[in-house]
Amino acid sequence: MALDYGTPILVVDDYDTMLRIIRNLLKQLGFEDIDEASDGKAALEKLSRKPYGLVISDWNMEPMTGYELLRHVRADERLKSTPFIMVTAESKTENVIAAKKAGASNYIVKPFNAQTLKNKIEAVCGA
């Protein structure tokens, strides 16, 4: 299955610069339907109103972390199969294991480039 560049993507990060970087990388790859949320709670609100084909979320955010968001998404019958890529500056093995156990589809360690992002998206959304 080829990547669908029309798929809606939700990017979740509490750091505006990181939101802009990920949005620009996604646009560079050809994605157009990109929404943003500044934390897990805002992301859940958006997820309740629109179906997304992919969530890309930072791990460390307040008041709801990306890890907590992931657990909510996986617990929701309507959302549980949504591909979810966790992004973090920490490459600790225990975090990767925790994210995988909680149901993360994939994991990206910052900093990363467009090719790395594309590879991770292809791995979870088909290519």
How are beta strands 34-37 and 54-58 bridged, if at all? unpaired
How are beta strands 9-12 and 54-58 bridged, if at all? parallel
Range of the domain at 17: 9-125
User: What does pTM read for this prediction?
Assistant: 0.95
Number of domains in the chain: 1
The rounded mean pLDDT for the chain is 93
Residue 93 has pLDDT above 60, yes or no: yes
pLDDT band at 79 (very low <50, low <70, confident <90, very high): very high
Residue 42 covered by a domain: yes
DSSP bridge partners of 109: 88
pLDDT digits (tens, 9 = 90+) for 23-72: 999 999 999 999 999 999 999 999 999 999 999 999 999 999 999 999 99
Residue 2 covered by a domain: no
Residue 23 covered by a domain: yes
Cβ neighbours, 10 Å, residue 105: 20
So what's the pLDDT on residue 31?
96
Residue 115 covered by a domain: yes
- On the CB side of 4, CA atoms within 13 Å amount to 11
Cβ neighbours, 10 Å, residue 62: 10
Got the DSSP string for 35-61?
A: EEESSHHHHHHHHHHS--SEEEEESS-
So what's the pLDDT on residue 94?
87
